[in-house]
Amino acid sequence: MIENPFSFGDPIKESKHFVGRRREVAEIYTAIGQASSVSIVGERRIGKSSLLLYVTDPSVTLKNRLDLAKYVFAHFSFEGYSTISPTALWRQILNSIMGQVRQLALVEQITLYMARESLSHADLDVLLGKFHDAGITFVVAFDEFDTAAANPSFDRDFFGGLRTLSAKHSVSWLVASHRDLIDLRYARPEAIGSPFFNFFRVVSLGGFTDDNVNTLLESGLAESGIVFRVSDRAFIDRYAGHHPYFVQAAAHYLFTAYAAKYFRDGQPDERWVVERLRDVGRPQFRYYWDESENGEKLILATLALIEQGDVTHYKLDQNFADKSPSKEMLRRLYQRALVEDDRSGRPRVFSDLFSEWISEQTAYIASDRIGNFEQLIHTAKIDGPWDRWVDTTERFRRGFAWVDTRAILKKVLVEKGPDVALDLLSQIIVKILFPGSPS
């Protein structure tokens, strides 16, 4: 079996396998050179951990013309450390820089501090002052910072102390989180009130570009003896879009199909690959959905029902992207790499599998939850009895009556056009997503 060059699920640890993010890397190193701090914000599995490991790699630091004698880099992930104490945290950080420090006096000072039962802010003030006096910038990369902001051991004084250390000494904090620091979902309110959370430069991490995807595929396949076909590239576009995690996953399983000769009609067995992607995607899809705001869910559900309802030839009303708050919500979905433009410039859910998953959540609604459905249908001036839209097959036999939103969408698009259809669809989706809301 040929070694598979595409991996997913774990951060990229070897810099030679890191692809793209040139602009973001340049922004981060510019900030480090000025002893400033950076907040790296991006969706789960978008590549934040890989980016932190990359910019703290000594070989990459040298390539970016930073003198290693003037910088020490510490890296710590809060994943699995939801209740770590400040002293334990600083012991981990100090231990990680021991091999980088060349000055004997600093090594002795670090060794002395690590032996203490507890480390206070005053202790760190003295130690980092010595680094500053030696002309050394202290760079600390914090991954999964959402967890740190929810840690009951880290209070306002703790975070305020970090801000003070940065202001007094040459310290750069590189903080990776799923949301903007001032908008961390599970953060403790007393912690968020610290000035630590509002002095960062922000680097937003989104999806790959076409060039990034092409480079990833070409570099991975370069010495493998396997060549992806044009149809394989189109397959990746359809099921992974430009999302780094799913691009790697799709390439991984396509490569496996070639290497293990999982073929169907002379082509890689796409059905086998799709099932593997569906399996690894479901937990991610649930997370993305649960972490979305109500307005984001409404947009995702609308896009998914249009795509899965086989009515994509109807372009979305231009006002869909311009209405407030839709415009801001849509912008955030693009930023999260959950929505991207298709080849014609129309917004689409980044993966057909995510679109399929969303559609499954919203394609049917129990008729007893929708309220006065007859009146809702009447507002769209659709002729005929309202119960034609109720699915009375297997779901009915199980004791429920379900409204088929896909059928409604197709009917209204054909008879009334996209404006009326989208308006009606929005009302129905609101009923699905937020039961009990007013008609």
- Give the model's pLDDT for residue 415: 72
Q: Is 10 within the bounds of a domain?
A: no
Find the domain containing 196 and state its range.
21-205
Give the other-Cβ count within 10 Å of 347's Cβ: 18
**Mean pLDDT in consecutive groups of 10 residues from the start of the chain, 439 residues:** 87 90 94 93 94 94 88 93 94 91 90 89 91 92 92 89 89 92 75 82 94 95 92 96 97 95 88 96 94 85 75 52 66 93 87 92 62 53 51 44 66 70 69 58
CB 62 within 8 A of CB 204: no
Specify whether the backbone of 337 is left (phi greater than 0), alpha (psi in -120 to 50) or beta. left
Q: 77 and 189 share a domain?
A: yes
Q: 49 and 84 share a domain?
A: yes
Q: 89 and 52 share a domain?
A: yes
Q: 47 and 189 share a domain?
A: yes
- Give the model's pLDDT for residue 305: 76
Using alpha carbons, select from 238, 220, 177 the residue that is nearest to residue 46.
177
Q: Is 118 within the bounds of a domain?
A: yes
Task: Render the burial of 74-86: b for 16+ CB within 10 Å, e for the rest.
Answer: bbbbbeebeebeb
Residue that is written with structure tokens 């705001």 in the block: 293
- Give the model's pLDDT for residue 434: 65
Alpha helix segments (H runs only) across 309-387: 319-322, 326-335, 352-362, 373-379
Q: 196 and 239 share a domain?
A: no
Based on the number of CB atoms within 10 Å of its own CB, is 205 exposed (0-12), middle (13-18) or buried (19 or more)? buried
Bond prior to 325 in cis (omega within 30° of 0): yes
Task: Render the burial of 304-341: b for 16+ CB within 10 Å, e for the rest.
Answer: bbbbbbebeebebbeebeeeeebeebbebbbbbbbbbe
Q: What gap in Å lies between CA 74 and CA 86, rounded to an integer?
A: 15
Q: 70 and 171 share a domain?
A: yes
Q: 70 and 115 share a domain?
A: yes
Structure letter (DSSP) for residue 403: E
Q: 350 and 362 share a domain?
A: yes
Instruction: Tally the domains of the chain.
Output: 3
Q: 53 and 144 share a domain?
A: yes
Q: Is 438 within the bounds of a domain?
A: no
Single residue among 184, 205, 226 that ends a domain in this structure: 205
- Give the model's pLDDT for residue 366: 59
- Give the model's pLDDT for residue 207: 95
